[in-house]
Amino acid sequence: LSEFFALKKAAVTEQQTVLFVDRLEPRKGIQVLVEAWALIAGGRIPLPDGLKMPRLIVAGSGELGALVADAARRLGSDVLQHVPAPDRAQHLRLLSEASLAASPSIYGESFGIVVVEALASGTPVIAAANAGYAHVLTGRGRDLLVEPGDAAALARKFVELLASTEKREALAQWGREHARQLG
């Protein structure tokens, strides 16, 4: 995890970024993530006044790549961007620029290394409360868990944390410290 602990976060820009890095397959919850993002972009889960629509970056490849590409076309590249199969350097750069990370896996996670990597980088992770991620996100991290498959809860949690710099910074600090215990 040393590369992730050494990562320096980029300055927050006007348009914040949420990052998903993983395989694009059904159990990883990408369809739930895309639905949550559409709820925010469509105003069904409203952003507070003054908060610009954030960008979701989906980094990965897999059988649901067409679902992501279609959503990017519908929502626009300023709202959803797909980065197929990022290499390690791209992965680290994307994490350095992200305000939040997303890990909405519905099931089948035994531990969650993508969660620990994001925490080590200082990027709070909103994750589905599957067995593996619930094992990682303990203590204060429980606040980052949402019910697996619940797109509305995922969207509300994104909006809550994107709207609060203080909460994000506190969770980022907690995440780095917590990841040291897990690494």
> DSSP letter string over 110-174?
SS-HHHHHHHHTT--EEEE--HHHHHHS-GGGGGGEE-TT-HHHHHHHHHHHHT-HHHHHHHHHH
Predicted confidence at residue 110, as pLDDT, reads 87
> Is there a contact between 169 and 100 (Cβ–Cβ < 8 Å)?
no
- pTM for this prediction: 0.96
The pLDDT profile of the chain, 183 residues, written as one tens digit per residue, is 899 999 999 987 889 999 999 999 999 999 999 999 999 999 999 999 999 999 999 999 999 999 999 999 999 999 999 999 999 999 999 999 999 999 999 999 988 899 999 999 999 999 999 999 999 999 999 999 999 999 999 999 999 999 999 999 999 999 999 999 987
**C-alpha closest to that of 157 among 173, 141, 179:** 141
